[in-house]
Amino acid sequence: MNRFSFVDCTSVEHALGELGSGTEVKAGGIDVLDRLKEGLDQPEKLVNIRNIRSLAAIEDSAQGLRIGPLATLTEVSEHTAVKQNYAALAHATGHAATPQIRNVATIGGNLLQRPRCWYFRNADFPCRRKGGEIRFAQDGENQYHAIFDNHICAIVAPSSAAVPLIAFNAQVELTSKDGKRTVPLEKFYLTPEQNVTREHSLRPGELLTAVVIPRTSQNTKSAYQKYGEKDSHDWPIADAAVVLDMDGNTVRRASIVMGAAAPTPMRATASEALLSGKALNEQLARQAGKAAMQGATPLAHNGYKVGLFETAIYRTVLFAGGLMPRDRSAVGGDV
Ligand SMILES: Cc1cc2nc3c(=O)[nH]c(=O)nc-3n(C[C@H](O)[C@H](O)[C@H](O)COP(=O)(O)OP(=O)(O)OC[C@H]3O[C@@H](n4cnc5c(N)ncnc54)[C@H](O)[C@@H]3O)c2cc1C
């Protein structure tokens, strides 16, 4: 690890004043400290925002929910308004990683964590995401990699929280010395075609200062499911969030997002269109699962993910619609 200075900030203004070239932000530190130890990042200065209390609040209002980026995954998952109105988010944040990590990891850091691809994480592999020329995953060990949009770089988006947040049409508030801007979370993430070395469009000198989710109605039902190799802790191999606007048993509008399928969280637009305006039943949910996989381009070792995602979406749609009250097959499904 390189030598760096450490600045402990207690206000947003203080932190913005400290940001510049050669600096890096630390929130909970779970991901950024790993990257320093792995030799991937070598900042001159680490700007600790963990103690800026004004960025840790969760506020529920008639407009919706405003989550400070320093709210921990535990605080988000256990918040009454999140559990009542945004069940998919409560589930995703409540089943990411381990209880110890969830007590430290922040929602902002979770959305901005860097990918888990083992070629990216190993400093000895000069992959395209690190500015190199070689696409190691395409011809290598690609069992956990992307099954969509995997031609330039086959990482998968790592954040569990981003999946339901996009399904709920959340926005992120970004603050710099020049002011604030708000961006839909779905557009905040960058595809490899847009930028192969960066996952999101946070600008230098900017802080993520809020996640804002529009209010849901009484007819909104949602669910999230995560499938992994271990039940105890790990990033998902496949996960899905489904938000349904229901009129009785009929789906007025569906919002379906997949994680770990592509380099960015991916909307299942064909499944959304298929469900809209129809009475929900098991057969329709199965068709939605199949529709989501149209256009998949699996690599040599990850073809199994196509079937896994079909099942994940089928079950999450039924779970959201109340037609599958308990599901023991997904991580944390039995709640
Ligand atoms: C064993 C294990 C299992 C895990 N399983 C999962 C899982 O299932 N699902 C999942 O989603 N994650 C999982 N994680 C990842 C973990 O949730 C993230 O590393 C964590 O949420 C990051 O949050 P943090 O506050 O520690 O971020 P940090 O490490 O402090 O920051 C992460 C990145 O975000 C930047 N950053 C943080 N906050 C801000 C801000 N407000 N403004 C600007 N930049 C900012 C930092 O500069 C850094 O680049 C797992 C981690 C481990 C170790």
pLDDT digits (tens, 9 = 90+) for 136-156: 999 999 999 999 999 999 999
Query: Atom 4, ligand 1: which residue's CA is nearest?
Result: 97
> pLDDT per residue over 92-126, tens digit each?
999 999 999 999 999 999 999 999 999 999 999 99
Task: Report DSSP letters for 178-214, one per residue.
Answer: TEEEEEEHHHHB--TTT-TT-SB-PPTT-EEEEEEEE
Going by pLDDT thresholds of 50, 70 and 90, the confidence category of residue 327 is low
Q: How far apart are the C-alpha atoms of 88 and 220, rounded to whole Å? A: 11
Name every residue whose Cβ is closer than 8 Å to that of residue 86 and which is 6 or more positions away in sequence. 65, 164, 168, 213, 216, 222
H/E stretch holding 307 reads: helix 304-320
Distance, in Å, from the CA atom of 330 to the CA atom of 38, rounded to the nearest integer, reads 31
**pLDDT value at position 329?**
58
pLDDT the model gives residue 223: 97
Q: 313 — phi, psi (to 5°)?
A: -75, -45
**Of 115, 227, 113, 110, residue with least CA distance to 170:** 110
CA distances for 261 relative to 118, 226, 230, angstroms: 16, 12, 18
Residue 145 CB–ligand 1 contact under 6 Å: no
One-character DSSP codes across 125-137: --BGGGT-SB-HH
Residue 234, ligand 1, Cβ within 6 A: yes
Pocket test for ligand 1, best of 101, 144, 200 (most atoms within 8 A of CB): 101
What's the 128 CA to ligand 1 centre distance in angstroms?
Answer: 22
Q: Distance, CA 48 to ligand 1 centroid (Å)?
A: 14
